[in-house]
Chains A and B, each alone.
Chain A
């Protein structure tokens, strides 16, 4: 049963991808319905897998050797993330029916989205480090291909390749960790790594821990790799919602959470993880404050929220981080899809051209508002509970100053969220945009997400129970809703955070009165607009590589004598090296 369900969750979207591709672009209706059918079926399979959680492998395909056995474990972490990937995936596909209506090359679009959904489910369900790396790279491939879906747009192409290159660069960290783990443990199995981590030499464990951190930071667009995510916003919006908000970018956090017990004792590792999270959360929040592109605001906000999760893992709050992951996946997918509905109806992403859309898009206003309140962390939406849990875990497990920065960032979150909602839906219309409200399929995708953002916190009991039972090395305690509510409302952290969030909202409300304050912050704003110099570093590396490549080409003179000289020189060098070696 379990093995079949695992096969279905991964296989259904993949088979669907083949079908959509097969049907061909001349039958777009079929492509829409096939994609919806297969993704929804995968979602149902993943939901059916939820209650069957266990820490025992559910499916093993024997391969052996340097690839290990292809094993899949439906533990709490895995089934939850697989459900997120497939359910939000199917909602994004349903949304696409309206959003991508009439677009060319739909086959490529749906095939890649479905391929991604299956791979993401595989990534979280496998317990083999090699397979995890494999799925890790497949998701990067899909992400790249979908970001540059509009291949005629040079910005889309550049964004796709940037995302691919940066995540691959980070991926080397995971690669090194996996091959090293294999060379010392003789196995790629995660449970072996978790069990025997203390048997590894300290330096090897250190490489493993920091390699994973690098990989996770690149995948989750954390400091110092955060620059690819905003540029990934050239993708069609449902893709941004699915891959760049709700699922793939969570893979980094997932990796850290999964391996936390193994690396917990590595010196400085936890501090490094928390620092990465804090820096990302703060910097991205500042950048979200000044961005003028609706999707980029949401992208920065994703980086910032992922920073919270990373911070929580570093502070030892694995449950808190995963809880926030769930909340964030729901409300951020909601926000992105809502933004997609806005963009689809007004035809621009520029916040400066929007405004006053509340009347024209009442439904979108409603659901976007729910998502925004959840993002801002207002009670009693799901974002509130999980963010408070994270802050509490941070106060218990990390230094005070980091907690302070995170609370400050929570205020900034409220501020930029409010600014964004205001610019889109309130005020006077800043241009004569003709807008029409979302279509049926869009509404069908948005409504469940809005309900989720309101109510998903009720799942904390089941979630914590699942994690507590199936993750023997993580020492997670189950937590009922009542306990959580009690814990959160009696913690001073909550009231501090709520106060700061209120301050953030107030800051937007009275923004005209705070002229002095805003002027003082203009320097920070300018730096944030330049993404704190990270774009410049990217560009410099790129230019340097291109220059080296161009210069090296000069050596290929095309003259035969020169080529012979190269051979003779090589002979001389080889003989000299051998003579020195002997």
Chain B
């Protein structure tokens, strides 16, 4: 039973990360990019919980996950703040517009 659950957890972790990274690679809307980042990070958080379980140190795993959540929230806040500014200055959230720095 547990083995089965763990398998599901592993699949969920991998697919969250996969979906997140895929989203980062195709999304053209800055908010969607941030969402992609969040999805992938959620996969990493889940991975810590899972790792804590597998290492039979559930408490450590969960406290690590909590720390990541805190850091991740800050990053998300900063990212969204930047997105607001981008909307104001560029008039769009499309990252195609953010191509002035290149070559």
Contacts and interface: CB of A to CB of B under 8 A. Distances in A.
A553 B102 CA distance: 8
A568 B101 CA distance: 21
B102 A557 contact: yes
B103 A564 contact: no
B69 interface: no
Interface in A510-548: none
A565 B102 CA distance: 16
Size class of B's contact patch? 10 to 19
A560 B99 CA distance: 8
B26 interface: yes
A557 to B, nearest CB: 6
A568 B98 contact: no
Interface residues of A, number: 11
A560 B103 contact: no
B87 interface: no
Interface in A545-560: 553-554, 556-560
B101 A564 contact: no
Contacts of A558: 98-103
B102 A560 contact: no
A78 to B, nearest CB: 51
Interface in B70-103: 95-96, 98-103
Given A553-B103, A554-B103, A560 B95 contact: yes
**Residues of A contacting B: mostly:** helix
A490 B77 CA distance: 94
Nearest to B22: A568
A556 B98 CA distance: 13
Contacts of B95: 559-561
A556 B101 CA distance: 9
Contacts of B25: 561, 564-565, 568
B33 interface: yes
Interface in B36-51: none
Contacts of A559: 95-96, 99, 102
B27 interface: yes
Nearest to A565: B25
A558 B95 CA distance: 10
Nearest to A564: B24
A560 B94 CA distance: 11
Q: Which of A553, A554, A557, A561 lies at the interface centre, i.e. has the most chain B CB atoms within 10 A of its CB?
A: A561
A564 B99 contact: no
B24 A557 contact: no
Contacts of A554: 103
Contacts of B103: 553-554, 556, 558
A479 to B, nearest CB: 65
Contacts of B100: 558
30 contacts: A553-B103, A554-B103, A556-B102, A556-B103, A557-B99, A557-B102, A558-B98, A558-B99, A558-B100, A558-B101, A558-B102, A558-B103, A559-B95, A559-B96, A559-B99, A559-B102, A560-B24, A560-B33, A560-B95, A560-B98, A561-B24, A561-B26, A561-B27, A561-B28, A561-B95, A564-B21, A564-B24, A565-B25, A568-B21, A568-B25
